[in-house]
Amino acid sequence: MNAVKQEAMILNTSVLGVISAVIRAMGSTIVKGTQVIDTSFNVAIHGVNAANHLAVAVEKRAEIYGQGMVRNGALAEREITLKHTQRLRALEQAELVTPPADIKPVKVKPTSTEKAKSTKAKTKVA
């Protein structure tokens, strides 16, 4: 019977060893899993913060460009107005320099359809 008790004892210790090893492996897996989860959350939080910084930078850049476009539009409008006023002054000065007697009226030539209508009207009257 001593041999049977020794075999039972070996069996019991080996089963306990296996159970202990399984529990220890599961525990280390759980610990490593929590470390992986913790690292993943840290990476996610870092990514969200980086995206937030990018969004703020993009908004600031858009505001700067928008103000620049408005300013450039106002400058372009002032430039066009200045060009028109300079052109008007140049035309007024040109009118003052040339005497009105030299200006000849422009004769408008009738188009081909007007010639055809006038010839038909003359033939019907006669």
Least confident of 12-21, 40-49, 95-104, 111-120: 111-120
Higher pLDDT, 52 or 21: 52
Write down the pTM of the prediction: 0.39
Q: Supply the mean pLDDT for the chain.
A: 77
Mean per-residue pLDDT, 112-126: 59
pLDDT confidence of 82, banded at 50, 70, 90?
very high
Q: How far apart are CA 39 and CA 46, in angstroms?
A: 10
Q: How far apart are CA 87 and CA 12, in angstroms?
A: 110
Predicted local distance difference test score (pLDDT) of residue 67: 84
